[in-house]
Amino acid sequence: MKNISAKYVVSALFVGLCMFAGCGDDTSSTIPLAPNMGAVSSSSADQPQSQPGDTQSSSSENILNPVSSSSVADSGAPASSSDANSSTVTSSSDGAIPPGTEFYTFETTPGTLALAPDADGFYDAGDIYKAVPKTSKIAFVLRHSKRSKNNTGKNSPLTPIGIQMAQTLGTKLAGDEAFYYASTDFVRTRATAENIATGRGETDVEVVTWDEGIYGSYFLTVPSDTLDALVSKRGGNPRYIAQYAYGVPYTNEIVAATIPAYFHDFFQRGNQFVNEVVVANMPNWKRVSVLISHDMLVAPLIILVSKRTIDLKIYEETNHWVNYLSGIAVIVDEAGVVTALPVRGDEVGWMRPRDEVNEGV
């Protein structure tokens, strides 16, 4: 396993506010800067409503946070990470990565950290927080906590169970330091961050709105409602997002003829998120940051960093999908080595959506 390339280490540890190309929608060529602590949250009044399956379109007209946009004109952004690795993969029928191929610019094992995954391949978020030394930085990128099954809109709140789940995760992350919190502009994502902070014992916490960096449809080249129009009556978004992430052929002829153009290259885009959205912005944040998004973002990220070994194959009989509060942890040590691990904030990292009871409480 090779360490992250030199240009990403420079970006993460020394440049801080630098801008990179190619991380927004196809209509933009710049990477979104994360707001600094204390910054006024950006307005997302024109952000499209979410679609079923936690889908939401990105804001393609201006992906820069207004607080940080003044630094764009003379940022001297270097080229995108797309040249880091060729990422064309011919997968086996089960989506496994062929032996001997490598498409990662970060580590995917805990190395010397005293960490072990559970039987499903997830690391407990609390275990990661306790095991990572204070000289390292951590960013948790997580799906929001539990919401009502039949309410996926922008104003969908957490259920009482969801509130308790988030606060319980907060107790696992309890410590003597303040965290940085950011979320998309959804009631459930903001409430998740707030309740994690409550569980940690933090009060009067600012949750920065950062749709431009952690929006759910990051892996899509088109608005999420375009994907919805194609697949909503053919199994729904999660099924096809999973097949995309595992590199498994689409069996529906209409979908197979159309959908490949709807997604970015999986490995290239995933590496770009870890290195350019998260690592490059970590100098702006506190030592530990919590970024709350949606399943459309975190499911492909989990599949990526687990090297397709974790089962989120909702299209198969197991019917596994990403659980609430699951995601990834990105760790940067004092030498600049980047590690990304699949993480769970609840007791289990996956769920079976079709078996879920409708809890409108």
pLDDT per position in the chain (361 positions), as tens? 444 444 443 344 333 333 333 333 332 334 567 776 543 333 332 333 333 346 433 332 222 232 222 222 222 222 333 333 334 444 555 667 766 566 899 999 999 999 999 999 999 999 999 999 999 999 999 999 999 877 778 999 999 999 999 999 999 999 999 999 999 999 999 999 999 999 999 999 999 999 999 999 999 999 999 999 999 999 999 999 999 999 999 999 999 999 999 999 999 999 999 999 999 999 999 999 999 999 999 999 999 999 999 999 999 999 999 999 999 999 999 999 999 999 999 999 999 876 554 333 2
Sort 312 into a burial class: Cβ within 10 Å, 0-12 / 13-18 / 19+: buried
Rounded CA-CA distance 184/344 in Å is 19
Rounded CA-CA distance 119/92 in Å is 23
Supply angle C-alpha 246, 344, 196, rounded to 5. 135
Rounded CA-CA distance 61/63 in Å is 7
Rounded CA-CA distance 164/347 in Å is 13
Rounded CA-CA distance 183/209 in Å is 5
Rounded CA-CA distance 142/344 in Å is 8
Q: CA dihedral defined by 15, 273, 36, 167, rounded to 10 degrees?
A: -140
* Confidence at residue 94, expressed as pLDDT on a 0 to 100 scale: 64
* Confidence at residue 98, expressed as pLDDT on a 0 to 100 scale: 66
* Confidence at residue 353, expressed as pLDDT on a 0 to 100 scale: 79
Residue 156 contacts residue 187 (beta carbons within 8 Å): yes
